[in-house]
Amino acid sequence: MSGLIRTYRREIGSPWRLLNTAEQALLVLVHLRKGELFAEVGVGFGVSTTTCWRYVNETVELLAARAPKLRAALREAKRAGHAYVVIDGTLIPIDRIAADRPFYSGKHRKHGVNVQVIASPDGTILWVSGDLPGATHDTAAARIWNILAALRDAGLIALGDKGYHGYDPTGAHVITRYKGRNKPESQTDANRAHARLRSPGERANAQLKTWRILRKLRNCPRRADRLTKAIHVLQNHEPANDGEMEELHDCGRGILECCRHMSWDEAAPPVTSVEVDVLRQQWYAVIGALVHLDQAAPDDWHAINATGREVAELGRRMIAFPAEP
């Protein structure tokens, strides 16, 4: 996230601010994850309420712009080999008054906005829709977002709950459970299989609600879609863990070890200890730059160019470095 913010600041010509990019990213994460008010978060980071609001909205817009579109997400799911996807709707509660009838959900008995979520069979969020008033039925929401046509084009099947009953008259792309009592045994078995396949995918909505900002929105309801899309991007982001960073570090060392001279060894008589130490320090600096580039600044072309120059300079110095004292 800090690399994304850094790139945006450079594009708008705003390289310096009260908080650096890492601190702004942390501020946004605190607000989204804990759901605290702008005033409370601002006090914790030493900025005003207005500045905190601007930082959060700016970063949310940047993240939401990276969320996948519906058809692109389904095509990616098809390429990933998923036999089906799970479609479900969720209500994001909002702070509204009773007069706002379009936002009142009779099912949940509270005000909110309707958001459609498509997940993979293991519960990974694939796509999050825009927001609709809470009174919107799931079937109506699916028609508005034209989900059936996207499923048909991608050649995928979606498993939905009873809220989508009748959405796909053919039952070829949106499959729901059989309704009614005293069903034949074949339909009962089909419902059990449907629930067994669909249950892991239902945790996608639970993942969204772990971000406390979505437990009750205190801002404009029309901001809900940007928040859910931003959280979708954050939720699916998988930062490299310590083992991966250690592997990257070892790989960088192994590559440079193949190019280094024998006089780098402690047993070999050095040319001068100062020259060896300087070259060794530059060697480790390049490794650190490569690790930083992979972890924090993959989209920062300034960092890419700087790392490229460091690698080129290190290569020239290694070529010029004498192999013997």
pLDDT tens track for 225-235: 899 999 999 98
The answer to the question of residue 207 being in a domain is yes
Q: Are residues 175 and 294 in the same domain?
A: no
Position 283 confidence tier, pLDDT thresholds 50, 70, 90: low
CATH of the domain at 223: 3.30.420
Q: Are residues 169 and 263 in the same domain?
A: no
pLDDT tens track for 89-123: 889 888 876 556 788 888 888 888 999 999 998 88
Structural tokens at position 227: 């928040």
Q: Are residues 94 and 43 in the same domain?
A: no
Q: Are residues 247 and 209 in the same domain?
A: no
168 pLDDT more than 70:
yes
258 pLDDT more than 60:
no
Q: Are residues 134 and 102 in the same domain?
A: yes
Question: What average pLDDT does range 48-67 have in this prediction?
Answer: 92
Q: Can you tell me which residue has the tokens 């991966």?
A: 244
41 pLDDT more than 60:
yes
36-40, 53-57, 157-161, 254-258: range with lowest mean pLDDT: 254-258
The residue among 16, 46, 64 that closes a domain is: 64
Tally of domains within the chain: 3
Q: What is the Cβ-side half-sphere exposure of residue 233, based on CA atoms within 13 angstroms?
A: 20
Q: Are residues 93 and 116 in the same domain?
A: yes
Closest listed residue to residue 255, CA positions, set 286, 279, 276: 286
Predicted pLDDT of residue 251:
53
Q: Are residues 57 and 182 in the same domain?
A: no
Predicted pLDDT of residue 52:
92
In angstroms, rounded to a whole number, what is the distance separating the alpha carbons of residues 21 and 7?
10
Q: How many CB atoms lie within 10 A of CB 103?
A: 23
Dihedral of CA atoms 167, 170, 171, 177 in degrees, nearest 10, equals 70
Question: What average pLDDT does range 277-289 have in this prediction?
Answer: 64
Structural tokens at position 25: 């990213």
Contact 59, 231 (CB under 8 A): no
Contacts of residue 324, Cβ cutoff 8 Å, sequence gap at least 6: 263
Position 270 confidence tier, pLDDT thresholds 50, 70, 90: very low
User: pTM score, two decimals?
Assistant: 0.68
- Which secondary-structure segment (H or E) carries 115? strand 110-119
Pairwise pLDDT comparison (279 vs 170), residue with the higher score:
170
247 pLDDT more than 60:
no
Predicted pLDDT of residue 70:
93
112: containing domain: 70-236
Question: What average pLDDT does range 169-197 have in this prediction?
Answer: 86
Q: Are residues 18 and 120 in the same domain?
A: no
The answer to the question of residue 325 being in a domain is no
267 pLDDT more than 90:
no
User: What average pLDDT is seen over the chain?
Assistant: 79
In angstroms, rounded to a whole number, what is the distance separating the alpha carbons of residues 1 and 44?
20
Share of the chain above pLDDT 90, in %: 23
Q: Using alpha carbons only, give the angle 34, 1, 3 rounded to the nearest 5 degrees.
A: 155
151-155, 244-248, 264-268: range with lowest mean pLDDT: 264-268
Position 265 confidence tier, pLDDT thresholds 50, 70, 90: very low
Contact 196, 121 (CB under 8 A): no
Pairwise pLDDT comparison (301 vs 64), residue with the higher score:
64
Q: Are residues 84 and 198 in the same domain?
A: yes
Number of H helices, E strands in the chain: 13, 7
Structural tokens at position 108: 């949940």
Q: Can you tell me which residue has the tokens 């600044």?
A: 297
The residue among 49, 64, 79 that closes a domain is: 64
Q: Are residues 177 and 193 in the same domain?
A: yes
